[in-house]
Amino acid sequence: MTALDLTPAPGSAPATRMVLAHAAMETRLMLRNGEQLLLAVVIPVIVLVGGVYGADRLDLGLSHAPVDVFTPGVLALAVMSTSFTSLAIATGFERRYGVIKRLGSSPLPRSGLLAGKVLGLLLVEALQLVVLGGVGFALGWDPAPGWIGAFLAVVAGTAAFASLGLFLAGVLRAEATLAAANLVYLLLLAGGAVVLPASVYGGASTWVTWLPSGALGDAMRTALIDGAVAWGDLAVLVAWALLGTFLTARTFRWE
């Protein structure tokens, strides 16, 4: 009878499995948080329904049906709310309570920690897009088949806003991050050309397209209204992503 080999074999799980497990945990934490759900789903739904039914009274001079303009913009808003505001606030408080420091000392490498966070964001965003897309269809949305352009816009927008959110969370205290992230969210919602096209902003239409919010909103509208890929807007988002990544790498503090 052969003896069993009970020699310990210590070692960490494969990197891919660790990243996927961390992404699943991040997704569950986001979905269990009431404030995160408010930013992720409730506010975008209110903006979508209110914008569609109130567009005629506001006389915005839209060149397409209100639901066809507002739905891509609200999808962009959902990406911004999750990848920037929610990520910045969650990361800021994780730094405050030492969660980031403890995870950084685990077998999961720091690059894997960030990869898990971004993958968790994409999973939450996929849920947001399904919910908001369903609301849009219920309101009569008739999108163009520009799904490749929309996919590229979501990926580039997530990269841009996530890098900026991590930069904000890495240099400010948790309470300051909470205030700053919500303030930036409200300012971009109102004047960042994310929900409405830049043409609505009159003389400011030239510079708002250089904001990550304006570039993401215009890229989504180009994809889902015109069925095209907005390469210029995608380039703006990539530039913001590179800038945010550089700033985060230089300034992020793990505790």
What are the pLDDT digits (tens) for 32-60? Answer: 766 677 777 888 899 999 988 887 777 66
**CB 100 within 8 Å of CB 94:** yes
pLDDT in tens, 209-234: 899 999 999 999 999 999 999 999 99
Identify which of 125, 149, 162, 152 has the alpha carbon closest to the alpha carbon of residue 221.
149
Q: What pLDDT score does 13 carry?
A: 67
pLDDT band at 77 (very low <50, low <70, confident <90, very high): very high
Distance CA(230)–CA(234), nearest Å, equals 6
C-alpha 188: how far from chain center: 13
Least confident of 57-66, 73-82, 151-160, 172-181: 57-66
| pTM (2 d.p.) | 0.86
pLDDT in tens, 145-163: 899 999 999 999 999 999 9
